[in-house]
Structure 1
């Protein structure tokens, strides 16, 4: 009863849908035969449900000499089946039909050419289609294949055993034990009881019950029969009548098939698979992301870029705030970022408008633009390719992610997770280069104080030039012996001298102070660039390494959950 309640907790439709999706998820990861079996069950279930559900197909199966053909005749009240003792007399399956209307398509699907309508018998069997199968131990291969084919599709199986061969390993190992899931759609008949004494009958029935229990078929009804003495035939007919009247035996058979197919998929998936996958997915956190990102940043040349950001900041600061007399010489020095094709969008013009004074993260976001416009337009950098050591560290970090994510998972799921972690490894180099290029666009932004300092420098430069011109004029007048013109003074120092000396000294002093401030800003900007580049590289690592592994683990968890549903 517990089994029935557990089965009814999940509808057949839900179990079939779960099995179909589980087979889809297991494609290429589990045994191909088990996946094909699951798909066959789903397909067969759809076909069986589309045919007559008012008919119940019951098959009599047994070994040579078990008396199943005699039992077939006794149940149908006919002499349709030929009766033999030592050799197979049933070469192809034949059907006896109670209420044949509507059974044609079902029998066509079952490929049963020999069909007989039974009239004038017990109306309680209305809707029964009784099949007499060939012997499962026949010397003819075609007979055995026919039995295997029909045993896999009929609604109810009646195994007819005889006292001599009821313990034969062939029937138990080949059929009964593998069909342990089908206990609800199975009846076992111990035939030819007339050959035994009453005490022997009891012993044989008890031993048969023990064997069935060992096969996992506890609870399967056992009916003792003897056709010549008409023993148990009525009981068997009554048992079949109850199953036929239920009209749901076909659904029970399909549910058992679903369970068997799900069990086959579960053989490579141990208990607790869903929890193991969940634990592995949790491992794909900062614990694994950080060493992966560290290896990727080395391979992407982030330290070189960070150094270039600091040097470029100093270089550009001197060019913008240095003493105008000497700053022009900076033009002959290469810009560290431009040399790497970093820090500016395509076209080579630094982004100035809208830049934050500190060149911080806000400016970087502005450089990215809406919808990642900059990301779509930046070109490749001129960073040197990763060294062999850096590539080796990167590959090792990717493998470590796969190994850690697959720890505790059974093969081949573990192999699938490891493969997923490195499935996009070929894209890493290009994506890392693009991430560095995009992230560094904001690195060339000019602080606002550069403009103020540069304007002040030019004002001082103008003052110095004015002082030089004034002094030069006074020198010319004196040289030509013109009368000396009155010259204003600042205290005792003439204004021309103040303008010349003061402009030069103040310009040099401001240039020196700006260098100090630029050095501090370079360190700050380098730290921010390091954080931004780390975040950009981390995003690439998560997208190309961690996320594929996480998706595969989610696939494993989904598969495990679907198996639980499919198994009822």
Structure 2
């Protein structure tokens, strides 16, 4: 059945859906009792709104000897219930129906078997229940009361001058129903046994107790089922509630608000906490970089670049010596698959994080959780802190893969190395040619063979120019290349450091911050649903 939207807020349908959403989002985070209670209220609201809204179910509830059954008979105008003096006579709830057409499914839902039709037309639409005593010595009676107190539309608490201040009534029933004053009436019965001034004193004291219970707006009537005193006022009040046909929706609305209050948490993050979160993110990235050995990798990138530049562009006569020195990047196992563009598999050989560095990472993760949870309390704060640590075990491997992948770019050979390498070999070829030429001339002179014409560059023979010039040119190119490699190594190290910090920051964001943000997003949706449920 679709409910009409009330002008002052969202419809009951919307509030029920919002309460269910809040309970679902709070599951596993909030106390199970509160979540289960919210689901129960939502289910009960769904069941009640599908039944007759032309009938108002009012229940007479009270302690032993309060006169519930006498009041029940007086309202019905007939002796429908047995009346006892010193012991309870109502063992199961029974119903009196004023125009009971269509009330059958509603009573079936309430599991009321005893039903009486009332011929009096003054309260048409009323279904009046006489409940067992809430302080009965029988557990089944008390459970029956508890069940129906949660289901009926209107609660009429019947008290007597002797036990209206009973702590069991106020602590177990009235105080927990503080948000239900619109669907509650308190009747002080048996006032015929008191003088007038004593009745006024009892009413004032009862009002004080109800105010203390949070029920300041609850009507309090003084009646006597035996003499009929105050019965007209009670009958008129019940008639007004029945004619309005809103008691059922007011009861469900109060139930939803109370259930939402039991799910209540605290406020959202403020701007200052947002700034602290930025600082916590930076601290986390810094701790992860230190634990991942980024300074060691950056230094290896600079040294590795210079090492490989010497191997690629050094003087061919001496460059082979460099090959016997270890490659810093290869020692860290960072260059695997880089040249072929393959995915890097396995861990690097970057030294493992020290105990101090691991502690710093754990502290940084904890700080992220603490800052994110600063605007929360209780279960939600715990959930946010747990979210920050939820993937902490994956951090080491993820950061190591990022270090290997990002640093692999530092192993790429600049194009100028090829040009210089080709130049070195050309110069070396010229030097070898000059050496062979001079060797040939020396052999011919040794064998006393006629010397061929010897071209010169000025006064210097060309073989000498080729030999000496090639050697000097090779050394000069090697020196200049080494200077360029030194500068290039520093530049590449700076780029690698920046890239590593950004990549590790993304890992921290994925494994630490995103779970936290997801939990905060869940909390945000929870509070929105909660606000809507209580609107």
TM-score scaled to structure 1, two decimals?
Answer: 0.88
Deviation digits for residues 108-146 of structure 1 (CA, Å, limit 9, x no counterpart): 22121211222x321x53322110001112222221221
Contact 1:344/1:444 (8 A) holds in 2: no
Alpha carbons of 1:63 and 1:236: their partners in 2 closer, same or farther (altered >3 Å)? Answer: same
Aligned positions of 1:60-139 closer than 5 A: 60-118=60-118, 120-122=119-121, 124-139=122-137
Contact 1:88/1:138 (8 A) holds in 2: yes
Q: Distance in 2 between matches of 1:306 and 1:391?
A: 20
Deviation digits for residues 384-427 of structure 1 (CA, Å, limit 9, x no counterpart): 33233322322232223333333453233333222221111111
Deviation at 1:282, TM superposition (A): 4.7
Contact 2:60/2:157 (8 A) holds in 1: yes
- Equivalent residue, structure 2, for 1:495: 462
Contact 1:97/1:128 (8 A) holds in 2: yes
Match of 1:158 among 156, 159, 170: 156
Deviation at 1:515, TM superposition (A): 0.5
Deviation at 1:95, TM superposition (A): 0.8
When structure 1 is superposed on structure 2, of 96-105 and 183-192 the one drifting more is 96-105
Q: Distance in 1 between matches of 2:64 and 2:401?
A: 75
Match of 2:234 among 236, 242, 251: 236
- Are residue 531 (structure 1) and residue 489 (structure 2) matched? no
Alpha carbons of 1:419 and 1:290: their partners in 2 closer, same or farther (altered >3 Å)? Answer: same
Match of 1:554 among 499, 521, 526: 521
Deviation at 1:183, TM superposition (A): 0.4
CA-based RMSD: 2.3
Aligned positions of 1:419-498 closer than 5 A: 419-498=386-465
SS in 2 for 1:343: coil
SS in 1 for 2:208: helix
SS in 1 for 2:82: coil
- Are residue 288 (structure 1) and residue 280 (structure 2) matched? yes
Contact 1:274/1:557 (8 A) holds in 2: no
Deviation at 1:187, TM superposition (A): 1.3
Deviation digits for residues 492-531 of structure 1 (CA, Å, limit 9, x no counterpart): 1111111111111001111011001101111111111111
Aligned positions of 1:14-413 closer than 5 A: 14-118=14-118, 120-122=119-121, 124-266=122-264, 269=265, 273-276=266-269, 280-285=273-278, 287-345=279-337, 349=339, 378-407=345-374, 409-413=376-380
Deviation digits for residues 138-183 of structure 1 (CA, Å, limit 9, x no counterpart): 2222212211111111110011122232233322222112111000
- Equivalent residue, structure 2, for 1:369: none
SS in 2 for 1:95: strand
Q: Distance in 1 between matches of 2:286 and 2:27?
A: 35
TM-score scaled to structure 2, two decimals?
Answer: 0.93
Alpha carbons of 1:444 and 1:475: their partners in 2 closer, same or farther (altered >3 Å)? Answer: same
Contact 2:344/2:405 (8 A) holds in 1: no
Contact 1:281/1:553 (8 A) holds in 2: no
Contact 1:274/1:556 (8 A) holds in 2: no
Contact 2:267/2:376 (8 A) holds in 1: no
Alpha carbons of 1:333 and 1:6: their partners in 2 closer, same or farther (altered >3 Å)? Answer: farther
> What stretches of structure 2 of length at least 5 have no aligned partner?
none
Contact 1:59/1:133 (8 A) holds in 2: yes
Q: Distance in 1 between matches of 2:361 and 2:192?
A: 79
Q: Distance in 2 between matches of 1:132 and 1:408?
A: 48
SS in 2 for 1:324: coil
> What stretches of structure 1 of length at least 5 have no aligned partner?
352-373
Q: Distance in 1 between matches of 2:44 and 2:236?
A: 29
Q: Distance in 1 between matches of 2:354 and 2:51?
A: 67
When structure 1 is superposed on structure 2, of 203-212 and 527-536 the one drifting more is 203-212
Q: Distance in 1 between matches of 2:246 and 2:418?
A: 87
Aligned residues: 531
